[in-house]
């Protein structure tokens, strides 16, 4: 990783943009019937003297959660909109909110008090808009929320 926290890179058809991450968190929320593990990053880059911000998020839902078993886990979230939940479970902000599809999130190791995560997805579609690959490589802080009701 080129930055201390990590990077979010947009691989556009016409070139790459690399954002240094300002934050990277994994938040555990225990619901009555499941556990939500939400990944969130925010970042910035400077282009021609102006500051550009971005963020991305994806949630995975588990039957149980144990932090001791996180390393080596791989999660796939194929679509931004989850029909069964009737809600978005992932998105990326790049000048506006966009769907982030074909997410693959891998927890590859422990770094200090955090977890090194490699996460990729795709923004755009095969129609009018060209696909951009989004790649996040970062150390995430693990946060726990109180039980949700």
Residue 125: predicted pLDDT: 63
Q: 91 vs 5, which has greater pLDDT? A: 91
Q: What is the DSSP code (8-state) at residue 69?
A: G
Would you say 123 and 94 are in contact if contact means Cβ atoms under 8 Å apart? yes
What's the pLDDT tens digit per position in 98-146?
Answer: 999 999 999 999 999 999 999 999 997 655 567 899 999 999 999 998 7
Q: CA 149, CA 147: separation in Å to the nearest integer?
A: 6
Give per-residue pLDDT as tens, 60-71.
Answer: 999 999 999 999
CB 34 within 8 A of CB 63: yes
Nearest to 142 by CA among 119, 116, 115, 109: 115
Task: Please report the pLDDT score of residue 111 as a whole number.
Answer: 95
Mean pLDDT of the chain: 91
Q: How far apart (Å, rounded) are the C-alpha atoms in residues 139 and 107?
A: 10
SS3 65: coil
């Amino acid at each position: 990783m080129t930055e201390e926290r990590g990077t979010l890179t947009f691989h556009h058809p016409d070139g790459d943009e690399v954002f240094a991450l300002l934050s990277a968190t994994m938040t555990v929320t225990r619901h009555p019937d499941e556990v939500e593990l939400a990944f969130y990053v925010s970042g910035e880059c400077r282009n021609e003297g102006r500051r550009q911000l971005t963020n991305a998020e994806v949630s995975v839902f588990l039957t149980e959660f144990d932090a001791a078993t996180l390393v080596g886990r791989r999660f796939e979230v194929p679509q931004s909109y989850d029909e069964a939940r009737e809600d978005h479970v992932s998105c990326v902000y790049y000048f506006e909110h966009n769907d982030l599809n074909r997410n693959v999130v891998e927890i590859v190791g422990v770094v200090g008090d955090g977890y090194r995560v490699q996460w990729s997805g795709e923004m755009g579609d095969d129609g009018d808009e060209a696909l951009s690959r989004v790649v996040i490589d970062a150390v995430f802080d693990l946060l726990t929320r109180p039980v949700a009701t």
